[in-house]
Amino acid sequence: MRVIEHLNKAKGKTLFSFEILPPLKGKSIDSIYESIDPLLEFNPNFINVTYHREEYIYKKREGGYLEKVTIRKRPGTVGICAGIINKYKIDAVPHIICGGFSREETENALLDLQYLGIDNVLALRGDAIKTETTFVPEPGGNKYAVELVEQIIQINKGEFLDGEKFEASTHPFCIGVAGYPEKHFEAPNFKADLNYLKAKVDAGAEYIVTQLFYDNSAYFRFVDACKNEGINVPIIPGLKPIVNKKQLTVLPKIFNIDIPFELYELMDAAQTDAQAKQIGIEWGIAQSKELIAKGVPCLHFYTMGKSEAVKSIAKAVF
Ligand code: FAD
C-alpha cells in the first residue's frame, strides 16, 4: 500500500514507522531482521531502507602504489525491501538518490521496483562523496531531488525518458521527500530552502519526512512555515534517540542540527553510559508524547540498525 494511503486511512491517529540501513557488505540479511523483529509489536505501517552510494578508497598495491578503488559499503537496498515485504508483509520504502545515477539508470531502477511490487520511494539528492567538496551529479543524472521527483512522475504517467509511451502502472509510485526543520546546510536561508521544498511537492511528492531534530519547537515552526508557503502535504517528523555523550558532538556534525542546551546539560552530567542512554530515551519519550498530542501523522524513527532505544520509546508512547 502507498504511504499516503496509510496516512489517510489513519484518520488522525499517529502511525509508527522506522528506517533501517542495509547491513555492511558481507553481513547477512538476518542482522536486518534482528533489528526489525523487536519493533513488530508496535505495528509499523512502513519501513524505510536507506541507499548508500559508492565511495572511493585507496588500496596499497605491490610496489607501494596506491590504487583508487570504488566500493559500496552497504549495498542491497532494493533486495532488502523485497525481503521485508516478503517476510513481514509490511510496506517497504526504498530510498532512491540522484548521486551516482544517470537518469537512464534511475529509470531502470524504477522499473525493477515496479516488477517487485514496490510502490513507494523516498526521493533524495544524496550528499557529496567524501572526495568531493560539493555534490556533483552523474553525467546525465539528476542534480536536485526535484528532478528525480519529476522523473518518477513521468514514469507514473507511462512515459520513458526517450518519450516512448507505455501502459502506466495501476500502482503509481507514492513519492516522499526530505524536509529540514533547521534548514538544509547548503541552502542560503530558511525561506529559499522552503521554496525548493515546495517545488518538490508541486512536482508530485505526496508527503515529507523531516531530518531528525531534538527540539519540537523547530518542527512546529517548520510545519507552520510550510503551511504559509502553501505546502499542504503531511509532514512526518523524523526522530533518533540520542544514546551516548559522543553523539552530542557527532550528530550536529553529520546532520547539521542543533542539540538543545537542556538536553546537552542533562547528557553531559550523566555519570555512566547507562544513565546517558536513559536520559536520551526519556527525551525521546517526551518529544514523542508531545508530537502525538499535537496530532502528527506518524512518528518515523531512525534506528541506524539499533532498535533497543526506539523500542523503549515506542513502548512508552504507543
Ligand atoms: P534537495 O531537495 O535536492 O536539496 C539539496 C539542496 O539544494 C538544499 O540546500 C536545497 O535548498 C537546494 N536546492 C534544491 N533545489 C534547488 C534548485 N533548483 N536550485 C538551487 N538549489 C536547490 N542520503 C543518502 O545518501 N541516502 C539516504 O538513504 C538518505 N536518506 C535520507 C532520509 C531523510 C528523511 C533525510 C532528511 C535525508 C536523507 N539523506 C540520505 C540525506 C540527503 O541525501 C541529504 O540531506 C542531501 O544533502 C539533500 O538531499 P535532498 O533530497 O533534501 O536534496
Q: Which pLDDT belongs to residue 130?
A: 84
How does residue 65 score in pLDDT terms, banded at 50, 70 and 90?
A: confident
| Nearest atom within ligand 1 for CA of residue 123 | 51
Using the mean position of ligand 1's atoms as its centre, give its distance from the Cα of residue 91 in Å.
23
* Pocket lining: 211 vs ligand 1, CB cutoff 6 Å: yes
Report strand pairing: 91-97 vs 120-124.
parallel
* Residue 124 CB less than 6 A away from ligand 1: yes
Burial (CB count within 10 angstroms: exposed 0-12, middle 13-18, buried 19+), residue 154: middle
The enclosing H or E element of 212 equals: strand 207-212
CB-ligand 1 contact for 97 (6 Å cutoff): yes
* CB 208 near ligand 1, within 6 Å: no
H/E element holding 203? helix 190-203
Which residue's C-alpha cell is 543524472?
141
Q: Is the dihedral of CA 263, 38, 250, 193 positive or negative?
A: negative
Mean pLDDT of the chain: 96
Which CATH code fits 3-241+296-317? 3.20.20.220
Report yes or no on whether pTM surpasses 0.95: yes
Which atom of ligand 1 lies at the shortest distance from residue 51's CA?
28
Q: Whose Cα sits closest to atom 28 in ligand 1?
A: 50
Domain ranges within the chain, ordered by starting residue: 3-241+296-317
Task: Give per-residue pLDDT as tens, 154-208.
Answer: 999 999 999 999 999 999 999 999 999 999 999 999 999 999 999 999 999 999 9
Rounded to an integer, what distance in angstroms lies between the CA atom of residue 173 and that of residue 103? 17
The whole-number pLDDT of residue 38 equals 98
State pLDDT tens for residues 2-25: 999 999 999 999 999 999 999 999
Residue 260 identity: P
The yes-or-no verdict on residue 70 having pLDDT over 90 is no
Task: State yes or no: is 19 an active-site residue.
Answer: yes
- The rounded distance, in Å, linking the Cα atoms of 90 and 49 is 12
Ligand 1: residue whose CA is nearest its atom 24: 126
